Structure 1
Amino acid sequence: MPIVAVSAQQEMVQDKMQAIILCAGMGTRISKSIEYRPKCMLYIGESTIMEHQIRILKSYLNQPPLIVVGYKQDMIIESLKDEDVEFVENPEYATTNILTSLWYAFRKKEIQDTVMCLPGDLIFDDKIIMDLLGTEGGITIAVQERQCDDEAVKVLVENDAVVAIGKELKAENVLFEFLGLFKIDKEFVPVIRNEIDGIIASGNNNAYMFTAIQHVIDKGVKVGYVDIGESPWEEVDYPEDYTRAKEKFKRFKWRN
């Protein structure tokens, strides 16, 4: 079973939580079709993906989100000039992957609070944040039961814990896909941070987020999960993802 939501927490604003949004990447698989804009700057309805994310996060958090930028960062920073946010640069954005961006975030700020981490190209139902905030314990990832393709980050679970996560898992052996969105309780932030330090120090600059999660699982750390059910979401990697995202959220009723 997944980690059970704690309903009392769902009504509370989390004043000791740091949100980190990772949007330094170039988005090479879609960049030509979107005129080389950063993916977080794509419009879903009347707002960009980034604007949707910030609005949702600010409904639940009491401190500014930390946004990791790199590719065309001036465009992103200018678009958010009126928002209460913090920025950190990944100067290696052209040659590294998303885990390096999180490494730069941890280097920029000594985070001692619970962390909510998400990629900048993820559009999602705001209920998913509430589901994650309503969980207790350690590290919790957001997943959805669905048919997984080769590109999906697949998740294998046993009882109430994740036992394997990665793209290389056989689709027939898994039920869930990882959204890229996860929460780290403050006591476990040093665990993830140390693991990321080790991965980067080894020279693996192209590691994904799930790489660090699998590493801590292999070391005996329990990673929980919350099944988001039918809540809509889309990670925009390819042109067809963007088409689906616009269609999914065309008439969506946002809670916040």
Structure 2
Amino acid sequence: MIGLVLAAGAGRRLRPYTDTLPKALVPIDAETTVLDLTLANYAEVGITEVAIVVGYAAETVASRVKGFEERYGVHLELVHNDKAETWNNAYSLWCARDLLTNGVMLANGDTVHPASVQHTLLDARGDGRQIVLALDTVKKLADEEMKVIWSESAGIERITKLMDPASATGEYIGVTLIEPTAAADLTDALRVTWERDPHLYYEDGYQVLVDKGFRIDVAPIGTVDWVEIDNHDDLDRAREIVCPS
């Protein structure tokens, strides 16, 4: 199994940081970025082969590859998304389709979370599970979150931001375990998704799979401090998590 990080987006709501940096390299403190935290998480659970999908300001990630490899004991491969500034992340994940046959631990490049999330997903392997999503079932939900409806009998039934928060089982936090057996089906679903609308999310690809009868499971992460960094308020929250007073 390899690690996979989606770090191609421009993150315009985090300007001026993202005038020259992708969101994954926005500083949380003087020495730490989201990418640092994600690579450290992978290393902690024994994942040392990592691919990073890059696009916007890709050269800034490339310039740090050697330092990341030395700091975290990982080997990095960069996958280029040539449409990162105009298309959404369904296409970003599709760009890494050839790697899915290795089995991947996928993490969004803007999600700050502890390594316990990776441990939880790895512990959920087996019993025929092919795709497992890290799910926060504790947080109070609002309109912006990527919400999930899940049942024991069917697995995930719906995943979308466009859902009444009261009907949701929880929030998908942007970390997924994908087994090699799911590679072909997921690749096809992602292609269908971005061909239908290049502005869709890879989670819309998950919904395509669900609609075809493919079971997707979840692993509740418990009470965990985490945040998806979309704006400056989120960045402040990330700094509180990483550098508590």
Q: Same fold (TM over 0.5)?
A: yes
Which one of 112, 116, 124 corresponds to residue 123 of structure 1? 112
Which one of 174, 179, 182 corresponds to residue 180 of structure 1? 174
Task: Report the more deviating stretch, 34-43 or 187-196.
Answer: 34-43
* Match in the other structure for 1:80: 65
* Match in the other structure for 1:89: 80
Deviation, structure 1 residue 227 = 0.7
In 2, are the aligned partners of 1:44 and 1:245 still within 8 Å (CA)?
yes
In 1, are the aligned partners of 2:24 and 2:110 still within 8 Å (CA)?
yes
**1:195 and 1:72 mapped to 2: Cα distance?**
28
Q: Residues 127-138 of structure 1: matches in 2 within 5 Å?
A: 127-136=116-125, 137-138=129-130
Q: Which amino acid aligns with 1:138?
A: Q
Local SS of the residue matching 1:67: strand
**1:35 and 1:112 mapped to 2: Cα distance?**
35
Local SS of the residue matching 2:12: coil
Deviation, structure 1 residue 233 = 1.0
Matched, 1:196 2:190: yes
Deviation, structure 1 residue 148 = 1.1
Deviation, structure 1 residue 173 = 1.0
Please list every run of 5 or more consecutive structure 2 residues that lacks an aligned counterpart in the other structure: 70-74
Q: Which amino acid aligns with 1:50?
A: L
* Match in the other structure for 1:206: 199
Deviation, structure 1 residue 33 = 5.8
Deviation, structure 1 residue 245 = 0.8
Local SS of the residue matching 1:230: coil
* Match in the other structure for 2:134: 142
**1:93 and 1:81 mapped to 2: Cα distance?**
23
Deviation, structure 1 residue 223 = 0.9
Deviation, structure 1 residue 172 = 1.3
Q: Residues 1-256 of structure 1: matches in 2 within 5 Å?
A: 17-32=1-16, 35-45=19-29, 46-82=31-67, 83=69, 84-106=75-97, 109-136=98-125, 137-145=129-137, 146-159=139-152, 161-202=155-196, 204-251=197-244
Deviation, structure 1 residue 200 = 2.7
Deviation, structure 1 residue 63 = 4.3
Once the two structures are superposed, residues 171-197 of structure 1 have per-residue CA deviations (whole angstroms, 9 ceiling, x without a partner) of 111130110111111111111111112
Deviation, structure 1 residue 138 = 1.3
**1:74 and 1:196 mapped to 2: Cα distance?**
26
In 1, are the aligned partners of 2:17 and 2:26 still within 8 Å (CA)?
no
Local SS of the residue matching 1:112: helix
Task: Report the more deviating stretch, 27-36 or 161-170.
Answer: 27-36
Q: Which amino acid aligns with 2:191?
A: D
TM normalised by structure 1 equals 0.85
**2:166 and 2:12 mapped to 1: Cα distance?**
29
Please list every run of 5 or more consecutive structure 1 residues that lacks an aligned counterpart in the other structure: 1-16
Local SS of the residue matching 1:156: strand
In 2, are the aligned partners of 1:154 and 1:166 still within 8 Å (CA)?
yes
In 2, are the aligned partners of 1:115 and 1:189 still within 8 Å (CA)?
no
**1:147 and 1:173 mapped to 2: Cα distance?**
12
Task: Report the more deviating stretch, 52-61 or 134-143.
Answer: 52-61
Q: Which amino acid aligns with 2:142?
A: D
Local SS of the residue matching 1:220: coil
In 1, are the aligned partners of 2:38 and 2:107 still within 8 Å (CA)?
no
TM normalised by structure 2 equals 0.89
Identity of aligned residues (%): 25
In 2, are the aligned partners of 1:19 and 1:57 still within 8 Å (CA)?
yes
Local SS of the residue matching 1:182: strand
What CA RMSD, in Å, does the superposition of the two structures yield over aligned residues? 1.7
Higher helix share: 2
